[in-house]
A and B are shown apart, each in its own frame.
Chain A
Amino acid sequence: MRVLALLALVITVVNAQEVDAGGLDLSTIRQLPVLEGERYKPLDSLALEWVERITGARRFHNCESMLWFLHWRCAPEIARKERVIRLTSSELSAHLGFAVGSAAESFRSFDELAENKQLDALLKEARALPEARHSQLHTEALRLDARSSMFGSIAGIDGGWEGAKSLGGWLPCAPPVQAPQKGAKYRWISPAEVPGSGHAPALVTAFITAMQELDQAFDARNAKAFAAASAKVLQGAKALGYPEGTGGFPGLESMEREIKLNAVRPFENAVWWFFAAFLLALVALAAPRARWIFFAAMLPLLLATGYMIFGLHERTVLSGRALIGTFYESMLFVAGSAGLLGLILDLFLRRGWFLCAGSLVAFAGLFVATRNPDFMQPAISTLRPVLINNDWIHIHVPAIMTSYALLGLSFVLGQIWLVRYALGLGKGESQEQLARAAWLAIPPGEVLLFTGIVLGGVWADASWGRFWGWDPKEVGALVMWLVFMVVVHGRWAGWLKDLGTALGTMAGGWALLWCYYGTNFFQSGQHSYAAANSSKEIPSWMWGFTVIEVALFVAVMLRQRRSTPPPTPATN
């Protein structure tokens, strides 16, 4: 019997196709304010963030997130059989008995996961163990379960929502009767909770009716009814009474502003403009006589920088807190700073190397930041108490991040120098200019890094009660400063020539990577809040990077050995 049931399940499971928009106008319902992730936001943002977390894409199957969200909410019995929940680990896939291979196999339906006994056992095992003892498989299983629960919440098919199917799943869009009070927990409720919420019966009826009309209109793809119901839902939710004052609702204008930011997608757009700038800078370097290409490369860089400034400004205004509060935002800042510094430095030097390295660092940084929703958690979020009401976050973090950008530029320029050297291209004036550029980025980077470390110490003194606590992040930053100081002293002493300096930037780059990434993700400390989803295992890309670096080092050493003239035999 169980085999038959399983067979039936397998037959009924479908690969998700795009959701038919049916000509519905989603612009009104997007604005519906919700209270989720500790902040008020439009439904548009909630849908974007949750659908991206579940499927891994902002436009899953080329279909916008709002449609997926409404589809899951309004047609849960169909949606639960669709393969939309992402499985990020092939090891976990194999462990759960799923086929591993095509891209389609990396998605599973809610029902498939709910019925999987291996997953159930793995989750029980993971929950019984302390977090420190979790294997990567446990971590992946818990993440998968979180995605599945998120789906279940939206669709209203997880344990807690069984009794409220008629009013859909979790959607915290209705303010409760009680206004937020200092010292008391406060949350918005879902439509299913509104009838028992204590609101006036007339308001409850109006809101619930509007929600039901909306769901029906979406199901029927009735554009006119959907538009009318959307407006009614907005009105109905507002009539329940948005809270004002401290901790209150920021207003519908703020919702519209966030929707605009979601539509512009500044960081996703900036990625490709940085890439264009990088390509043009490469061409400019290859054709030094055609100076117009050098200036042309600046245009996409300027455009990308404009996107970055707009995006960061809007995020800051909408979050109402510091410019950089999360690992994702720090990546954005480092990328933007690298691009801008590359532009500024090449306005002085006019060789094109900084333009090339700046746009490359910016492109790589932004690409990683915008393509890893699980890892980076791009949603606008709130901060821990220690990070708020504090001006140091506006000073220490940008100082450190700008130093990362400068030292990152030095690292990339050093890498280009080493690659050219290993390939036998390392001769002539351009190679000298490149080495000089790699060196020039170190001093301002070192000054800013040290200043940032000290300012961080002052902040730590004000917040944690100690200037220096040998926290892994502090140690990482000091190690980086010391490594670059070795390069500086080596160069001053004449010990390090261009090759030595380039190899020094390689070591410094490693220290930078460790300080920025390693200490956040592999070492626990007081800066762990700066991390997104930490992991116990070193990711494959880092192994790949290590192999490339070792290979480059070996190639450079071989080249150096070949180019060193053999010692002249002694003659009498």
Chain B
Amino acid sequence: MNHVQAPLALDPRAGGLRRGGPAAMPPVLAILLLIGAVEILLLVLLPWLLAHGTDSAWVQSERLAHLALAVLGSTVFGAIAGITAERRGNSPWWALLGHAGSVVAPLVAAFGLVESSPLAARLAPAMAGTLGALMPLAWKAPATAWEPGPGTRTLARLAHAAGNIWLGISLLALLAAAIWWGSWVENAFGHKAAMAMIYTSGWLGFVFFAFTVSLVAATLRKYPWRVDQTGWIVVHLALVMIIVGSMMSFWAKREGELILGEGEAASSFLAENQTRIVLEEAREVSGRLSWRKLDEAICRFDGNPAAMEPQEELSLAGPSDQTFEVKVLRWFPDARKSEELSDDAKEPLFGVSGTIEMPGGGMSRPFTLSEDGGETGDPTLLSMACRRVVDEEAATLLRQSGAGFGALEILDPADKVLLRVPLEPGAMDAAMAARPVPFDVEIPGTGIHAVGKALYANWQLDGTTSERRPVDASPDDPRNPALALMLKGPRGEDVRWAFSWYPDLLPPTPERNVYSDLRVRLRWFALPKGALWFVARAGAEPFWAFRSRSGEVRHGPVTAGKALELGIPLSITPSRMYSHLARREVWNFAGYSPQQSVAEVQIKHPGGETTAWLPLQESTSFECGEEMYRLRWQRTREPIPFTLKLHDFRRDFYPGSANESTFESYLRLSDDDRFRSGADIKIDMNHPLRFKGWRLFQARYSTENGETTILQVNRDPGLPVIYPACALLSLGMVLVFFQKPFLRQLGRWAASKTSFARFGAAQLAVALALASTLPGVLVISLLPPGPVQGLGALAIALGVVLESVLVVRWLGPRLDPARKGSP
């Protein structure tokens, strides 16, 4: 017999809200979901997209946070307004009134109130939202309850479909595949390219957005929620929070590096991901060249290293309404600079190139020396240099084993030698850490006396005391000969320094020197121990001279392709000599370390067109008519609201190796609010400075130009959202995976109770899930720090399993009378 079943008469309301019908979400929730999604797109995403890569205040963290907060407030007020209206029989589209704050917030920001009056800026959208939320209460309820129209019904069905688990699974799989692909892009093109092409790309952002909408829809469509869905809701909510927090980080995070040498102070840092091209004009100030900034432009071309021919055009304003057009033809994130040598320079410059082969065979490296360069090579092994001598006497002395000779020369502006004083230094004086040179000679015809003070065979600044006084670091080894003297005359006293190998180190200036028209020169012809010199001389072939550590001197002519007979295991073979050495910059690309970014730029200016290579943090100069300009490519400098000064940087090494076991920066922190007189702090590995929302970490160091610390600077407003969300997600997973049977029983028990009891039951579930992680947390927190804490992780896993078993097996049957007596 066939029975015709009457259709079930469904309650039009469930959980206080109007149902949306089969395969449809409650209309009010669908409306709230739609408004929320549109609001995020318009209020947060759109301003960021429009202002990204500019100095606009719309990408500053304060404004974005203000807008995000407005959206959050509107979501709450909108929900209140919509649900109130719908329950009173009005249209749930009244929810829009609760979103009044979202209209007010951008207006407030546009008028600059966020910066000038933060409290008013926050209150205004909140007040508008509150008023909007109260409006449905003030409005009279209609005689007939609201019925959804076709548009709302479609929306409810679409929102329901967005929460489909298949869509969720597909998006999960898509996300997994996309970011996995991103790790390959990173491998091929580097981290920056992967960030640009995948991780921060618009399409992945859309996938994340769709995933978030799907998560929220999946949660809303289950309304009215049951107690046994507590864990599931917690997980979804936590995931949404993580995505929101990540977006906050992405939009408003500040990152970069603070590079400080010892004794230096800074209150700004170099931004991680933004560079600028700066146009500067050359000027002469007090006889010195200085550069004045004319204009700058933010670069976009270096966002993606995979796009190496960006053809980006930047327009920079020059003086007198002139425009300089800069076109970036190519750029390479990892390049290495090398030199191309030739012998066609206009000015004479002596140089030698060749190869050094290390003992034991195999290790071989090229070298290039020129007379305008300093020493090169490993000083503990061998130092090399090119020198030029003016007379044969000096050349002869260089080839002898003796200590050589020295003389002081005083010259007039036309380089005429006015006085030559042979130097006869005394024994080392402990007090001055140098050899006294007791001479007092008048410069003929001037009335000025040259008075000798001290002679240093190897002048160095003593780094062990704060005074940094000069000392003779190795009196028997003329590695940096220097002389201190005084010029005494009718106009006063003038202290002078003369450096043998750096004659232009301290040129006399009218501001500093009384007798600035007189130059002093120290001539010292003696090879230091362990030094190899290639020596050029007028009218004769160059020769090499080498003084071993034991003092033995060897010398010979420089012949291309013939190894020098140094008498040590090291083999040095000159390959070419240059009388007019010219160096040209050549760039090699791909995969070199250390990384050096370089761009090829074409500069169109009123005086013509120039193409040049422009390395990051360096500059290239060009002429435009009579004027000299330069283009700098530099990382954006961002301010921090305090000042740090590096006092000392220390490293320590593992015994038996040159690998560091730790590095530490000792700094002084000055801040107008809290540390006016400054506070001494230390930043080292895993012990960052956290101050005013900024965090500074010990990242790296450099010893290229003295001891330099490199601190990572970070300010991340998303973390206060991400951290609790992650904890919530872990907790939710425990509930979902391990306590679901118990939650079902708890739900059945609570079904007959009041809504307050049901809420209490859900809270109990969360508390129990938390309790199950406690054993591991206790192990970690109670035991002393050390390897045994690792057992905490295992204890968490075991705790989750054991406590869940206990809860489900023991507590469950007590809540479920139907199963209480069952076998």
Query: Which A residues form the contact surface with B (CB < 8 A)?
Result: 35-40, 120, 123-124, 127, 130-133, 145, 158-160, 172, 180, 182-188, 243, 247, 316, 321-324, 337, 344, 348, 382, 385-386, 388-391, 394-395, 397-399, 402, 406, 443-444, 446-448, 450-452, 454, 457-458, 461-468, 470, 472, 475-476, 478-479, 482-483, 485-486, 489-490, 492-493, 495, 511, 514, 519, 522-525
Contacts and interface: CB of A to CB of B under 8 A. Distances in A.
A443 B176 contact: no
B343 interface: no
Closest 4 CB pairs of A and B: A159-B360, A132-B591, A443-B737, A398-B790
Contact of A183 (B651, B699, B723, B798): B651
A186 B180 contact: no
Interface in B352-384: 359-364
A322 B793 CA distance: 14
Contacts of A323: 787, 790
Given A464-B697, A523-B186, 6 more contacts: A124-B364, A394-B790, A395-B793, A466-B714, A472-B183, A519-B183
Contacts of A145: 362
Given A127-B362, A523-B187, A447 B654 contact: no
B191 interface: yes
B722 interface: yes
Contact of A385 (B255, B660, B696): B660
Given A39-B655, A187-B656, A444-B801, A486 B172 contact: yes
B738 interface: yes
A398 B363 contact: no
A486 B169 contact: yes
Nearest to A448: B797
B655 A180 contact: yes
B165 interface: yes
Given A467-B719, A472-B186, A479 B168 contact: no
Interface of B: 165-166, 168-169, 172-173, 175-176, 179-180, 182-184, 186-187, 191, 194-195, 199, 246, 249, 255, 359-364, 569, 590-593, 650-663, 685-688, 695-697, 699, 712-714, 716, 719, 722-723, 726-727, 729-730, 733-734, 737-738, 780, 785-794, 796-798, 800-801, 805
A316 B797 contact: no
A259 B702 CA distance: 40
A76 to B, nearest CB: 15
A35 B697 contact: no
B591 A133 contact: yes
27 contacts: A38-B654, A127-B362, A131-B593, A182-B650, A183-B650, A184-B653, A243-B655, A385-B662, A389-B686, A389-B687, A398-B793, A402-B794, A447-B737, A450-B729, A457-B726, A462-B686, A470-B186, A470-B195, A472-B186, A478-B179, A479-B183, A482-B175, A483-B176, A492-B165, A495-B166, A524-B187, A525-B191
Contacts of A525: 186, 191
A390 B657 CA distance: 22
Contact of B173 (A40, A120, A457, A486): A486
A35 B658 CA distance: 13
A386 B362 CA distance: 34
A11 to B, nearest CB: 24
Contacts of A247: 652, 655
B714 to A, nearest CB: 4
Nearest to A399: B793
A456 to B, nearest CB: 11
Contacts of B662: 385, 388-389
A402 B797 contact: yes
Given A159-B361, A402-B794, A389 B191 contact: no
A316 B786 CA distance: 10
A72 to B, nearest CB: 18
Given A132-B591, A187-B656, A382 B793 contact: no
Nearest to A458: B723
B184 to A, nearest CB: 8
A14 B595 CA distance: 48
Nearest to A444: B797
B169 A394 contact: no
Contacts of A382: 654, 659, 661
Residue among B362, B655, B714, B805 with the highest chain A CB neighbour number at 10 A: B655
A397 B288 CA distance: 58
A391 B780 CA distance: 10
B661 to A, nearest CB: 6
Contacts of B730: 447, 450-451, 454
Given A120-B361, A130-B592, A462-B686, A470 B789 contact: no
Nearest to A489: B169
Contact of A159 (B569, B660, B722, B726): B569
Scoring A182, A443, A475 by chain B CB atoms within 10 A of each residue's CB, the highest score goes to A475
A402 B794 CA distance: 7
B183 A476 contact: yes
Contact of B785 (A394, A397, A463): A394
B737 A444 contact: yes
Contacts of A322: 787, 790
A406 B182 CA distance: 27
Contact of B658 (A185, A337, A493): A185
Contacts of A467: 249, 716, 719, 722
A37 B654 CA distance: 9
Contacts of B695: 465
Among A385, A397, A490, the one with the most B-chain Cβ atoms within 10 Å of its Cβ is: A385
A394 B661 contact: no
Given A185-B653, A402-B794, A522 B661 contact: no
A186 B656 contact: yes
A448 B713 contact: no
B770 to A, nearest CB: 13
A457 B187 CA distance: 21
Nearest to B656: A35
Contact of B686 (A454, A463, A470, A492): A463
A391 B686 CA distance: 10
Contacts of B360: 158-160
B656 to A, nearest CB: 4
A481 B486 CA distance: 76
A475 B685 contact: no
Contacts of B169: 486, 489-490, 493, 495
Contacts of A123: 362
B176 A466 contact: no
Given A388-B685, A448-B793, A448-B797, A466 B737 contact: no
Contacts of B195: 470
Nearest to A333: B790
B716 A395 contact: no
B789 A385 contact: no
A470 B796 contact: no
B686 A390 contact: yes
Given A130-B592, A443-B738, A447-B733, A38 B793 contact: no
B655 A38 contact: yes
Interface centre among A388, A443, A447 (most CB of B within 10 A): A447
Contacts of B172: 482, 485-486, 489
B789 A395 contact: yes
Nearest to A450: B730
A443 B737 CA distance: 6
A386 to B, nearest CB: 6
Nearest to A145: B362
Interface centre among A127, A444, A452 (most CB of B within 10 A): A444
Contacts of B798: 344
Nearest to B794: A402
A523 B181 CA distance: 12
A142 B678 CA distance: 52
A322 B787 CA distance: 5
A447 B713 contact: no
B35 to A, nearest CB: 28
A451 B731 CA distance: 10
B595 to A, nearest CB: 11
B697 A463 contact: yes
